[in-house]
Structure 1
Amino acid sequence: MTSDKKGSPRAAFSFLDNTVRASAPLPGLAASAASRLPRWALIGLLVLYVGHGLFDRVAWRGDDLMTIALARSTVQELLSGNLAVLILPQLQDLAWNQQGPLWILIVSIFLLPLVAWAAIQGLPLPIHLLDDVARIPVGLTLVLGFVAIWKAADRYARRREARPLDPLGVGPKSRDFGGTLGDCALLLAIATLGVIYPWHQAGPAAIGFLLQGLLLWSLATAPETPKRAAQQIPWVIAGALLSLGPGLAIAWLIALIIVFSWVQPYRLVASEFAKRFVPLLLLLIGLWLMLCLATHPFARVGAWWVQNLDDWAINRFLADPGAWASIARWFNESLWKWWPLWPIAAFGIWKNRHVQWSRAPHWAVPIVIVSTLTVLGLIGPSDWRFHQLISVAPLALLAAFGLLSLPRPLVNLVDWFAVALFTALGIFIWLYWTALNFGFPSALAQRVAILAPGVQGNANLYEVLTGVFASMAWVVLVIWRLRRGNPRLWRPVVLSAGGLTLLWVLLMTLWLPAIDRIQGQQTLAQSLESAWIQSAQTKPKALQANTSRFCVQLTHESQTLDAIAIALTHLPVRRDPQCHWRLGSRAPNATELREWKTIWRSSGTEDRRIRERFVLLERQSQ
Structure 2
Amino acid sequence: MPVQVEQARPKGIRLPPSGWTLAVLLALYIFTGLIGHDPWKNDDALTIGVIHEMVATGNWLMPGLAGQPYPDDPLYYWVGATSSWLLSWLLPVHDAARLASGLFTLLALGFIFLAARELHDREQATAAPLLLAGSIGFLFHAHEAQPMLATLTAHTAAYWSLALLDRKPLRGAVCFGVALGLGFLANGLAPMLPLLPVAAFAVWRSANRQRLALLLLGSLLLAGVLGGWWLAFLFLAAPAYLAGLLQSELTQLGINVQPLLNLRELLLMLPWYAWPAFPLAGWTLWAKRRQLTSISLALPIFAFVVSLVIVGVTLGARSVPALLLLPPLVLLAVPGVNSLRRGAANAFDWFGMITFSLFALLAWIGWSAMVFGWPERLARQAVRLQPGFVGHFGLLASGFAVLATLLWCWLIATSVRSPMRGIMHWMAGLTLFWLLIVTLWMPWIDYGKTYRHASAALARALPEKRDCIAGVNLSDAIVASLDYFDGIRTVAASPSDHRKCELLLIHGTANESGVSVAGGWRQIWEGGRPAERRESEKLHLYRRELKKSAIPGK
Deviation at 1:374, TM superposition (A): 1.0
- Write the deviation string for residues 21-47 of structure 1: whole angstroms up to 9, x where unpaired: xxxxxxxxxxxxx96423332122122
State the distance in 1 between where 2:210 and 2:350 align. Answer: 45
* 2:482 matches 1:565: yes
Match of 2:66 in 1: 92
SS of match in other structure, 1:371? helix
- Write the deviation string for residues 342-391 of structure 1: whole angstroms up to 9, x where unpaired: 1111111221111251xx22212222222211111112245543332122
SS of match in other structure, 1:61? coil
* 2:1 matches 1:38: no
State the distance in 2 between where 1:608 and 1:308 align. Answer: 38
TM-score, normalised by the number of residues in structure 1: 0.76
C-alpha contact (below 8 Å) 1:194/1:337 kept by paired residues: yes
Match of 2:147 in 1: 204
Q: Choose the corresponding residue for 1:101, options 71, 74, 77.
A: 74
* 2:444 matches 1:508: no
* 2:281 matches 1:345: yes
Distance 1:422 1:604, change over 3 A: closer
State how 1:132-211 maps to structure 2 within 5 Å. Answer: 132-157=95-120, 177-178=121-122, 180-211=123-154
Match of 1:518 in 2: 448
SS of match in other structure, 2:194? helix
State how 1:48-63 maps to structure 2 within 5 Å. Answer: 48-63=28-43
Deviation at 1:614, TM superposition (A): 2.5
- Write the deviation string for residues 50-100 of structure 1: whole angstroms up to 9, x where unpaired: 22111111212221111001111222332xxxx4x524x332354434x42
C-alpha contact (below 8 Å) 1:49/1:501 kept by paired residues: yes
Distance 1:301 1:620, change over 3 A: same
Distance 1:328 1:421, change over 3 A: farther
Distance 1:617 1:389, change over 3 A: same
- RMSD value, Cα: 3.2
The AA in structure 1 aligned to 2:56 is: Q
SS of match in other structure, 2:36? coil
Deviation at 1:190, TM superposition (A): 2.3
The AA in structure 2 aligned to 1:296 is: A
Deviation at 1:113, TM superposition (A): 5.6
Match of 1:316 in 2: 257
* Structure 2 runs not aligned, ≥5 long: 1-13, 493-498
Q: Choose the corresponding residue for 1:293, options 235, 240, 244.
A: 235
C-alpha contact (below 8 Å) 1:437/1:457 kept by paired residues: yes
C-alpha contact (below 8 Å) 2:51/2:77 kept by paired residues: yes
SS of match in other structure, 1:385? coil
C-alpha contact (below 8 Å) 1:184/1:493 kept by paired residues: yes
* 2:521 matches 1:600: no
SS of match in other structure, 2:73? coil
C-alpha contact (below 8 Å) 2:157/2:179 kept by paired residues: yes
C-alpha contact (below 8 Å) 1:524/1:607 kept by paired residues: no
* 2:301 matches 1:367: yes
State the distance in 2 between where 1:136 and 1:583 align. Answer: 33
C-alpha contact (below 8 Å) 1:419/1:495 kept by paired residues: yes
* 2:377 matches 1:448: no
Distance 1:508 1:378, change over 3 A: same
- Write the deviation string for residues 405-437 of structure 1: whole angstroms up to 9, x where unpaired: 211122112111101211121111111111112
* 2:157 matches 1:214: yes
The AA in structure 2 aligned to 1:504 is: W
Deviation at 1:291, TM superposition (A): 2.2
C-alpha contact (below 8 Å) 1:377/1:384 kept by paired residues: no
C-alpha contact (below 8 Å) 2:151/2:183 kept by paired residues: yes
- Write the deviation string for residues 314-335 of structure 1: whole angstroms up to 9, x where unpaired: 5412xxxxx7554443233211
C-alpha contact (below 8 Å) 1:604/1:610 kept by paired residues: no
* Structure 1 runs not aligned, ≥5 long: 1-33, 118-125, 158-176, 318-322, 540-548
State the distance in 2 between where 1:75 and 1:477 align. Answer: 44
Match of 2:496 in 1: none
Residues paired across the two proteins, number? 524
Match of 2:45 in 1: 65
Deviation at 1:200, TM superposition (A): 0.3
Distance 1:502 1:258, change over 3 A: same
Match of 1:435 in 2: 369
The AA in structure 1 aligned to 2:223 is: L
C-alpha contact (below 8 Å) 1:247/1:382 kept by paired residues: no
Deviation at 1:276, TM superposition (A): 1.3
Deviation at 1:555, TM superposition (A): 6.5
SS of match in other structure, 2:289? coil
Deviation at 1:565, TM superposition (A): 1.1
Q: After the TM superposition, which parts of structure 1 deviate over 6 Å for at least 4 consecutive aligned residues?
A: 572-575, 577-580, 619-622
State the distance in 2 between where 1:315 and 1:391 align. Answer: 18
Match of 2:271 in 1: 335
State the distance in 2 between where 1:242 and 1:499 align. Answer: 35
C-alpha contact (below 8 Å) 1:604/1:611 kept by paired residues: no
* 2:466 matches 1:530: no
Distance 1:526 1:336, change over 3 A: same
C-alpha contact (below 8 Å) 1:523/1:606 kept by paired residues: no
The AA in structure 1 aligned to 2:65 is: L
* 2:400 matches 1:458: no
State the distance in 1 between where 2:214 and 2:300 align. Answer: 22
C-alpha contact (below 8 Å) 1:265/1:361 kept by paired residues: no
State the distance in 2 between where 1:558 and 1:64 align. Answer: 13
Q: Choose the corresponding residue for 2:200, options 257, 264, 270.
A: 257
TM-score, normalised by the number of residues in structure 2: 0.85
Distance 1:342 1:156, change over 3 A: same
State the distance in 2 between where 1:204 and 1:271 align. Answer: 31
State the distance in 1 between where 2:208 and 2:518 align. Answer: 68
Deviation at 1:598, TM superposition (A): 4.5
C-alpha contact (below 8 Å) 2:108/2:152 kept by paired residues: yes
